[in-house]
Amino acid sequence: MITISDSAMARIKDMLEEEETPNMFLRVGVNPGGCSGFSYGMGLDDQESEEDVYLDIKGLKVVVDKESVRFLNGLEIDFKESGMSGGFTIHNPNAIATCGCGQSFRFKDEEGQPQACD
């Protein structure tokens, strides 16, 4: 369902090691909003609920809320180094359009809740 590149996996594991809270995991989701209707949510978390789906990706615990699962099939997460910085990139084959700022997207059958970009 979700693919995480080796470089992204290494960066995520480094981030988890830096955390002082035990049992942290990667949470990935889709939120309504953004210029095109939806935006991604991705971060470390330690709170779980009955509304979550759990994945084991290369030994990493990844949690996705049940509402987001249908939007994330085939999602690819990568980490790109760029000069003295770097960042995560997300490729979603289900997205049919992205906005100019690159932070939000739209699906074929879902409009989401478009908002003006800053």
H-state helical runs in the chain: 6-18, 66-72
d(CA 86, CA 40): 18
Tell which residue, 43, 38, 29, 31, has the closest CA to residue 99: 38
Q: What percent of the chain has pLDDT over 70?
A: 86
Average pLDDT, the chain: 85
So what's the pLDDT on residue 100?
63
So what's the pLDDT on residue 32?
83
Model confidence at 102, in pLDDT bands (50, 70, 90)? Answer: low
pLDDT greater than 60 at residue 113: no
Tens of pLDDT, residue by residue over 24-77, are: 999 999 988 777 778 889 999 999 999 999 999 999 999 999 999 988 999 999
Whole-model pTM? 0.82
Distances (CA, A) of 5 to 19, 48, 57, 88, 117: 21, 24, 10, 10, 29
pLDDT greater than 80 at residue 97: no
